[in-house]
């Protein structure tokens, strides 16, 4: 047995061990949205004029804008409720696409594959997340559309990439998961008085999403070095573009939001992503992904230019889920 073969065997053994531990964690610590959230408890009631729905500056780009801060309190609450309901709706639509892609990916895996078990656990957890997000939307009582019409039209075709272009598919998985995870952690770490529905949904989602993100990172660290040089270079260029495009799908509200609340175009431009504060928020979403790109060999001179052109270049996280380093 050659030295290189031995190293690859050990790499596969280590990878399988990580997947085994992730699968066991899914068994040992998992959540059911209709068991672990008491939706009908009095404190979970959605009531008029609840200030806890007002968007905070440290959590949402809209919460930073003088236009929003100048509105009457009841209007801030109404916009905040619509915004949070739509983020939840986008989340469940994204996870629906993810589930379809994951089942497409595992369909052809061989018997005994550690990936098969973990990916199936993840599909089950993501299915529960879609139930949880939809219940949150229903309780808030906003008819939120979620994604824009273009992404909804493309949604049947995106999962098909999980077979022939699995590395790109899992880059797309991270492009949707990382911004939502970053935003929800900012909410939970903040000092704001969150509504119990939001707090419970976010806490469950962040806890289980940590495993899902960990798997996608490990998958790409394992698979990218095995790609051809040309394939790896193409993926290095596609990665920042995918991150930026899907981040906008996840974070930027649809046109119906701007029309409904008669929000000026200048405000939209400031928020996504015209102001220095919002541009920094955008870059902060991807510190962990930039770390992955560097570790997996996807950061090169050409790709760095694409990260910069997409306005999502910046510091690399020193460890996963590192809180944003803020200037004193």
- Residue 88's pLDDT is 94
Q: Is residue 293 part of a domain?
A: yes
Q: How far is CA 212 from the centre of its chain?
A: 10
Task: Say which CATH number the domain at 172 has.
Answer: 1.10.620.20
Give a three-class secondary structure readout of the chain: CCHHHHHHHHHHHHHHHHHHHHHHHHHHCCCCCCCCCCCCCHHHCCCCCCHHHCCCCCCCHHHHCHHHHCCCHHHHHHHHHHHHHHHHHHHHHHHHHHHHHHHHHHCCCCCCCHHHHHHHHHHHHHHHHHHHHHHHHHHHCCCCCCCCHHHHHHCCCHHHHHCCCHHHHHHHHHHHHHHHHHHHHHHHHCCCCCCHHHHHHHHHHHHHHHHHHHHHHHHHHHHHHHCCHHHHHHHHHHHHHHHHHHHHHHHCCCHHHHHHCCCCHHHHHHHHHHCHHHHHHHHHCCHHHHHHHHHCCCCCHHHHHHHHHCCCCCCCCCCCCCCCCCCC
pLDDT in tens, the chain (328 residues): 333 333 444 488 899 999 999 999 999 999 999 999 999 999 999 998 999 999 987 778 888 889 999 999 999 999 999 999 999 999 999 999 999 999 999 999 999 999 999 999 999 999 999 999 999 999 999 999 999 899 999 999 999 999 899 999 999 999 999 998 888 888 888 766 889 999 999 999 999 999 999 999 999 999 999 999 999 999 999 999 999 999 999 889 999 999 999 999 999 988 888 888 888 889 999 999 999 999 999 999 999 999 999 999 998 887 665 666 554 3
State the angle between helix axes of 196-223 and 114-140 in degrees (0 to 180), rounded to the nearest 10.
150
The pLDDT value given to residue 48? 86
Pair of tokens at residue 71: 């509105």
Residue 6 lies in a domain: no
pLDDT of residue 46: 94
Residue 323: the pLDDT is 60
Q: Which of 256, 241, 197, 153 is nearest to 52 (CA)?
A: 197
Predicted pLDDT of residue 74? 95
141/128 Cα distance (integer angstroms)? 20
Domain that holds residue 190: 63-309
User: How many independent structural domains does the chain possess?
Assistant: 1
The predicted pLDDT at position 10 comes to 46
Has residue 283 been placed in a domain? yes
In a domain, 69, yes or no: yes
Query: How confident is the model at residue 327, as a pLDDT?
Result: 42
Task: Confirm whether 13 is domain-assigned.
Answer: no
Whether omega before 273 lies within 30 degrees of 0, making that bond cis, reads yes
């Amino acid at each position: 047995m050659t030295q290189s073969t031995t190293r690859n065997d050990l790499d596969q053994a280590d990878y399988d061990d990580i997947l085994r531990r992730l699968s066991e964690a899914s068994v040992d610590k998992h959540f059911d949205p209709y068991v672990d959230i008491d939706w009908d408890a009095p404190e979970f009631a959605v009531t008029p004029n609840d200030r806890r729905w007002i968007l905070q500056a440290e959590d949402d780009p809209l919460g930073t804008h003088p236009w929003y801060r100048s509105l009457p309190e009841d209007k801030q609450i109404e916009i905040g409720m619509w915004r949070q309901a739509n983020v939840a709706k986008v989340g469940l639509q994204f996870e629906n696409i993810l589930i379809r892609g994951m089942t497409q990916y595992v369909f052809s895996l061989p018997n005994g594959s550690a990936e098969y078990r973990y990916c199936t656990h993840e599909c089950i957890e993501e299915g529960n997340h879609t139930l949880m997000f939809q219940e949150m939307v229903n309780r808030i009582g906003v008819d939120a559309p979620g994604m824009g019409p273009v992404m909804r039209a493309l949604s049947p075709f995106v999962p098909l990439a999980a077979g022939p272009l699995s590395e790109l598919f899992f880059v797309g998985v991270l492009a949707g998961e990382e911004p939502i995870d970053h935003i929800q952690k900012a909410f939970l770490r903040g000092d704001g008085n969150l509504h119990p529905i939001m707090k419970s949904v976010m806490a469950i989602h962040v806890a289980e999403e940590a495993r899902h993100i960990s798997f996608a990172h490990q998958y790409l660290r394992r698979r990218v070095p095995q790609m051809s040089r040309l394939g790896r270079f193409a993926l290095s260029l596609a990665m920042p573009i995918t991150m930026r495009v899907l981040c906008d799908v996840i974070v930027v509200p649809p046109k119906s939001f701007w029309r409904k609340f008669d929000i000026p175009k200048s405000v939209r431009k400031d928020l996504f992503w015209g102001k220095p504060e919002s541009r920094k928020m955008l870059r902060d979403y991807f510190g962990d992904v930039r770390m992955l790109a560097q570790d997996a060999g996807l950061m090169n001179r050409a790709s760095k230019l694409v990260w910069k052109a997409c306005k999502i270049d910046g510091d690399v996280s020193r460890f996963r889920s590192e809180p944003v380093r803020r200037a004193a």
